[in-house]
Every structure is written in structure tokens, then in C-alpha cells.
Amino acid sequence: MVEVTLKVTDLHQFQRDGYLLVPGLFDNEEMDYLRRVGQGDQSHSVHGVVDSEGRISKLWLGSDTTTESIYSAICRSHKLVDRMEALLEDEVYLYHYKMMVKEPRQGGAWEWHQDYGYWYNNGCLFPDMASCYIAVDRAHKQNGCLQVLRGSHRMGRIEHGKAGGQTGADADRVDLAMQHLELVYCEMMPGDALFFHSNTLHRSDANLSEDPRWGFICCYNTRSNPCRDLPGHPSYTPLEKCDDAAIKAVGLRTVTEPGF
């Protein structure tokens, strides 16, 4: 049962534009814990993804919600999950989460793509999926904030192919879309959350600033959307939500553990 009351205008905006920005969904203390845990975390396998100009962005991916961690607490928090369920109008479960890292003067660009451009090949039957990008650091144009094409989710799935070391949307189709759809730079403060549909075209520039750009992305599938059960991209398992207060409790416990 959805416990967050979503404004009708918010739902209409998400359905019209393919995204919804929620300022201050998480507070500075929660983001400070997430940043500190992420920076000290050696448990994930970090991948370096190369853009078309040879710059590297780092990320790690997980899908475990059974282990008590700040990642799990955020992914299962009522204030995030209840909003996601309201926007997708269905029960959701965690498809996976990922930490995206763009180091100052180093972090590479991400090519135009749709998340469903990847997930379609995982056997997800419908694009009834969405992600929530949470700004861990301030995200602005100079450090490679997320960009979206407003309303692009209504184009349906676009063919994807290789672009550098990444998978990107068909360039001709993207060029056509850019002639007709508004390009939006999603500049965000720490704790702001951007909910976006799996067919929304998005990208980001390289980080050319002195500021890091860390972002935590929680991705969800709907219960009624069949998909293959793959490592890191599971089929439906009921998501046990947790109290929002668990984020700070787990974060504090983690950063005060011996040896952290």
C-alpha cells in the first residue's frame, strides 16, 4: 500500500515528461553517510566504463536487499519506494542499484541511452520500469550532471549499439529527437532525487571541474512485468520496505565500526 500521497500534478508531469525531480528527498546527513560509506567501501567490484573520447567513469552495481547496509536502507525506504510505486502505479521491487562515480577532471561522459535499451535484452517484457538518481554530491553542468530529453519516453524503445565502451541509442534517432524535444540539464543538490522512466533518453558530459560527481541510482521493476532471473538483475521478489530512519541508523553504525 502506497503511504506517500503523490500530487496529481507530479504524476501528470512524470507521465508527460518522463521524469520528476524531487528536491531534498534525502537530507545532508543521509548523503554524508552514503558518501563516506561509498568512499570507504571495498566490497564491490568497481567497473571502469570508457566513453567515446577515452575518459573513464566508475560504477559498481548490486541488488542485495537482505544484507543490512545503507544502500539497502535507501533502496527500501518508504519515501523512495512509495513514490516509485505511485509513479508506476504498481507494486515495485528492486532491479538493482549502482553507484556512479565521476572523479574531478577525470570522469567520462555517458552516451545517450534508455535504460530499457539495456533491460529489453534481459527479457523484461514491458518498459514498466524506472530509476531514481540520487545526487550524493552537487551535480551541475561542469561536473557532468544528468541530461534528459523531455518527453522522450513516449518514443518507445530505440535501437542501441556500441558507442566507445558503452551501449548507446541510435545516433540518427537521437538527433531527430533533439530537433523536437527539450534538452534539460538536471542540476541537483545533494539529496535531490530524479525519478525517470526506463524509456527516457538521458546522458551526461565528462567531469571537467574540480568537483566530484557521485550519484546513487536505484532501479525498479514492476511486479506485473515478467523478466528473466539474471545475476544482478533479478525477477520478482517482494521488496520489504523499511523505515526512513534506518538510513541514518545504518549509516552511523557503519562509519563507527572498528576498521572503517
76 pLDDT band (50/70/90 cuts)? very high
**How many degrees, rounded to 5, is the angle at CA 23 between CA 9 and CA 190?**
160
Residue 23's identity, in one-letter code, is P
List, for residues 207-247, the tens digit of each pLDDT value.
999 999 999 999 999 999 999 999 989 999 999 999 999 99
The pLDDT value recorded for residue 136 is 98
The pLDDT value recorded for residue 1 is 39
Claim: this prediction has a pTM higher than 0.85: yes
The count of other CB atoms within 10 Å of the CB of residue 196 is 27
The whole-chain average pLDDT of the chain stands at: 93
Cα distances (Å, whole numbers) of residue 120 to 2, 125, 218, 234: 27, 7, 18, 14
Q: What share of the chain is helix, strand, coil (3-state, %, to 5)?
A: 30, 30, 40
Residues near 12 by Cβ (< 8 Å), separated by ≥ 6?
none
The pLDDT value recorded for residue 164 is 65
The pLDDT value recorded for residue 248 is 98
Which three three-digit cell numbers place residue 180?
A: 523536437
What structural domains and CATH numbers belong to the chain? Answer: 8-255 (2.60.120.620)
**Residue 2 in this model has a pLDDT that exceeds 50:** no
**Residue 166 in this model has a pLDDT that exceeds 90:** no
The pLDDT value recorded for residue 5 is 67
The pLDDT value recorded for residue 3 is 54
The pLDDT value recorded for residue 260 is 84
The count of other CB atoms within 10 Å of the CB of residue 83 is 24
List, for residues 19-75, the tens digit of each pLDDT value.
999 999 999 999 999 999 999 987 777 788 888 778 888 888 898 888 899 999 999
